[in-house]
Every structure is written in structure tokens, then in C-alpha cells.
Structure 1
Amino acid sequence: MKCYAKALRANWLLYALTVSSLFVQACTSRQTGAADGVPSAKSDFMYQYSIIDALLGGVFDGNLTLGQLKTKGDFGIGTFNRVDGELIVDQGKVYKVRYDGSIQEVPDHDSTSIAFVKFFKADSSFTLRDSTITLDQLEQQLMATLPANELYAIRMKGRFSKLTARAPGAARKPYPSLKDHLAKHQYLFNLSNTSGVVIGFLLPGYLAKVNVPGFHFHYLADDHKSGGHIFDFTTNELTVEIDKIQGYTVELNTVADFDKVGLDKDRQEELRKIE
């Protein structure tokens, strides 16, 4: 497994880059099975339950419990059955951001209709400082720096002068498409002066129809009083940790609706509108 480290290059940004000694050690240990007590064969893989096009098509229920999900990773994002809020896994705990903006830790017996998780172990970390750092600027620089065909888990911490997020309300049967559901049951939160953690992934375009290509981030405030699926943010200091993913596994949804949904349809335009 090839290991590498690249610094962001941008004339609008002052940055401090710290590459951990684990950057090399982690690549070696994950291959040889010496990684921190996690089963080596899958410790650096992303695990995915269901696929994004099934969710887009209205498959809003699943049979995977959150207790089972936590055995697959301690970091990740997704949603719950009935699309009842945004799902965040941070440091092994599962949180729900509800339509009213409230946060709750979710019991193991609850279930998810789609989720993406891994055991997070940063290969590199750096801190960005500037008068204004927006999500769009950050994403452009990361895209210009990181090889486009790889998969990455990204964890960021900072204080955000502005952050826009959303969470959906629960759907009722018969379920519509995700686009149609969010058109009526998406709730926006315009947060200011909030401190917290950003959890998400950068995935290549060839995973379209299976996952969300590009960036996909959720937010959890430090006080656990706000969060959601991120649309935008502004900050002046941000600590970024990047965990390069070796590969991924997909477990198909086992509810009956999965076998009935049309997965041949191109839903990328629908995905762009809601992401």
C-alpha cells in the first residue's frame, strides 16, 4: 500500500501541516494485522449498508441495527429508518440529528436504512488558518491535492462563524423518492458561532449509484445541541484529519422494497439537487 502526504497549496491560506509518524506505521500495521485491536482484514475498509440509489428511489427502511453497525466502524454517516433524521457515528457513538435540530444518542436496537462507517485512524493531519475559510474553498483545495481515484474518511474540528445544515423529518408509507420527500420535509438550520466536529467522506466518481461521489459531510456540535447534513460553513481555523481508505464492502439491504426499486434509472441529477 502506497503511503503519501501532500500539503495544501493555496495563496489565500496560511497552514500548518503535521504528518504523524503513524502515517507510515499505520499503512504497515494495517497490512500485517498489528493495528490497535481491530480485526486487520477490514480495519482500513469502509463498510456500507445499502446503496445510495436505493435510498433515492424510496427504500427508506433497513434491517441493520445500530449495534451491528458499530461493529463495522466507529466513524461515519447515514440515516435511520423512515429517513428519520441524520445519522452520525463519532468515536463509536451513534447520534441522531432530528428535524427540530435536537440531538440524541441512539440505542443499539434502532435500525438504519443506509450508512457508511469505518474505524477511523488518521494518516495525516493539519491545521488551516486564514481570515475566511469556506467549505467550498476547502473542498477545492482537497480535490486539487488528493488523488482522485482514492477513498478518504475526513474528520474536521473547528469553530464556525456560520454553518448551514439540514435534517429530514420521518417519512410515511407509501414512501416517495428521497427528492420528493425532502422537498416537503427538509428542515434547515442556520447556525452561528458554533464549535464542533465535521464527519464525512470524499469518494471517487466511479462509486456513483452506490454511494455519494465527491464530499459528504455531517456536523455534530460539541454541546450536542445542533448538527445535521452540511451545506456550507465559514471558519478561520480548522483542524483536518484524513484517513485514506484501502477499500470498501457493501452489504445489500434485505427489506422487500430493495428488490422492487428500479436501480437502472440515472439518479445523479436528483442526488446533486439534494446534496
Structure 2
Amino acid sequence: MNKKIVFALIIMGLLAVSAVSAQNSLFFGNNNDDSMYQVSLMQAFMHGEYNGVVTVGDLKSHGDIGLGTFEGVNGEMIILDGVIYQAAADGSINVMSDNEKIPFATITKFDEDGKIDDITAKDFNDLTSQLDKEIEKYGTNNMYVIKIKGDFKNITVRSVEKQEEPYKEFTEVAAVDQKVFNHTDQTGTLVAVYFPEYMNELNMHGWHLHFLSDDKTVGGHVLGLNDFKGSGQIDEIHEFNMILPTDDSFKNMNFTEDMSNKISSVE
């Protein structure tokens, strides 16, 4: 065969491989802009799976905004602008080191797909109802992260004291070791994560909100709010990646129980 023809065939083959590789990178999570990365299952966490699966350093490589908790349910996690904060049970806010371990979290690289101007909400349900209407414009079967910034007349947040093994189910933890804080006249950011109903076996359907004040002194899982005024940025997400625990307690866990009522009770 003519050497020129052979050389041309080799070049064509290399170009084809490059094209397939580029296409695969779009589908398998190398581009984090449109991918939700999750550590473990909400259902496993509810059952008491609190041992760390990844480190803070690992998690940060997958995005810059999200929420979760730390090994042993050591406080609430707020991920904002690439920094991973802990809202501790004593009410303090701490920047966590890269070697801290994480049993459950969701994170993405924020990519603004839309805006919500001039939000006015009288309470928590009013705000989430407005968020529901906003995502209906894009499609309620997608995942979303909404970054909501503004002023709160009142906001109620919680954190949880670190647990020791043998771990209790999270409903028991929340009943005994949950610390609730009420704050007035706060300015800050809500990280609002939404999962569609068909993903209810992997995470919680609906909205999950964590808060961090601008001065980094107040934060936690949001239980309630009053008289909010602000605006939001929407990130519509179409890809999902998850890493599972590898310990025996997870491998042998029974997932036949419907956890939806228990999840709702602690949200």
C-alpha cells in the first residue's frame, strides 16, 4: 500500500479516537459545570452511615457550591465560592481543613443559567413555593442549585453535635443532639439544592437549604425564616455522579424501608 495512503489512514484513526474521547468527556463528568457530585445516599445517612467516604480536599475538586456534613455528623456543611465551612454545634463557623472526612455531601461547579430578581418572601414555605415556580420554567425533572443572597429579618438554623459509634439513626440524633439558633437582622447567602421526585431513593426530593452570613459568624441547616428580600442565581444541572461508602455496614444495609417520612421529619 502507498505510504501516503497508510499515513492518511493513521491520521484519520487518531482524529476519530480524539473525537470519541472528547465526546466521552462531556458524558462522564470531566466537565463539572453541569454535573452534581454526591457522596453516599441520603437514605444511608438517615440509617446512621456517618463514617467518612471522601476528604474535604477530594470534595473540592468536584465543585465550588453545595452542602453536607462531616464525619460523625460533626455540624452542618456549607460550600460557597469554593470554601467548605462547618457550622458547628456550638454556633461557630469554621473553615475546614482538606483532611477532614465527609460521609454525605452534594456539590457542583456553579454555572449561572438564570436569575431571580427582587425576591420577597414572608417565610420558608413562601420562599420554596417561589423557587418551585421558577424551576417550572426550566423543568422540574432536572436538578438545581440556587444561590440566594439577601437580608433576613429572622432566620432559624440548626446544627448537630458530633456522634460517636455505635451510631444512631439520624431521626434519633436530631431529637436529642440538634442545636437550634434563632438570629435576627442577618445578611447572607442561602445554598438551595433541589432534587426531583424520581431521585427520592438517592437524595431528598425538593429543597434542602443551608445558610451562611456575609460576616461568616452565622450558619447552618435552615429550619425557618421570615421577611426575606434579595435575589438569586440558578444553576440547572443535567448530570449526576455518586461515590458510595465501602464499609461493611453500608454493604449490608437494608434499603427496603421507605425513608421519606423520616427525611421530612428532620428537614
What do you get for the CA RMSD once the two structures are aligned? 1.9
Aligned match of 1:270: 262
Between Structure 1 and Structure 2, how many residues are aligned? Answer: 240
Note the alpha carbon deviations across 1:70-113, whole angstroms, 9 max, x for none: 00111100000000100111111100000111000000000100
Q: How does 1:32-71 map to 2 (within 5 A)?
A: 41-71=31-61
> Which amino acid counterpart does residue 144 of structure 2 have in structure 1?
Y
Aligned match of 1:144: 133
Aligned match of 1:80: 70
Q: Does residue 93 in structure 1 map to residue 68 in structure 2? A: no
Once structures 1 and 2 are overlaid, which stretch shifts more, 146-155 or 177-186?
A: 146-155
- 3-state DSSP of counterpart to 2:61: coil
Larger Rg: 2
Aligned match of 2:190: 198
Q: 1:220 touches 1:227 (CA, 8 Å); kept in 2?
A: yes
Partner Cα separation in structure 1 for residue 163 and residue 43 of structure 2: 17
The Cα of 1:118 is off from its aligned counterpart by 0.3
Partner Cα separation in structure 2 for residue 214 and residue 245 of structure 1: 14
Note the alpha carbon deviations across 1:13-33, whole angstroms, 9 max, x for none: xxxxxxxxxxxxxxxxxx998
Aligned match of 1:10: none
Q: 1:158 touches 1:235 (CA, 8 Å); kept in 2?
A: no
Partner Cα separation in structure 1 for residue 94 and residue 52 of structure 2: 20
Aligned match of 1:158: 150
Aligned match of 2:230: 238
Note the alpha carbon deviations across 1:181-235, whole angstroms, 9 max, x for none: 1110001111100111111211111111211110001001111111100012123
Partner Cα separation in structure 2 for residue 224 and residue 239 of structure 1: 19
1:259 to 251, 262, 267: 251
Partner Cα separation in structure 1 for residue 243 and residue 24 of structure 2: 25
Note the alpha carbon deviations across 1:39-79, whole angstroms, 9 max, x for none: 85332100001000000001011230000000011110000
The Cα of 1:257 is off from its aligned counterpart by 2.0
Aligned-residue identity in percent: 30
Partner Cα separation in structure 2 for residue 148 and residue 206 of structure 1: 10
Partner Cα separation in structure 1 for residue 130 and residue 78 of structure 2: 25
Q: 2:32 touches 2:63 (CA, 8 Å); kept in 1?
A: no
Q: Which has the higher helix share?
A: 2
Q: 1:160 touches 1:192 (CA, 8 Å); kept in 2?
A: yes
Partner Cα separation in structure 2 for residue 129 and residue 272 of structure 1: 25
Partner Cα separation in structure 1 for residue 119 and residue 109 of structure 2: 28
Unaligned runs of 5+ in 1: 1-30
The Cα of 1:140 is off from its aligned counterpart by 1.1
Once structures 1 and 2 are overlaid, which stretch shifts more, 77-86 or 250-259?
A: 250-259
Aligned match of 2:219: 227
> Which amino acid counterpart does residue 46 of structure 1 have in structure 2?
M
Change (3 A) 1:112 1:40: closer
The Cα of 1:144 is off from its aligned counterpart by 3.0
Partner Cα separation in structure 1 for residue 76 and residue 163 of structure 2: 13
Q: 2:117 touches 2:232 (CA, 8 Å); kept in 1?
A: yes
Q: TM-score, normalised by structure 1?
A: 0.83
Once structures 1 and 2 are overlaid, which stretch shifts more, 66-75 or 147-156?
A: 147-156
Once structures 1 and 2 are overlaid, which stretch shifts more, 207-216 or 104-113?
A: 207-216
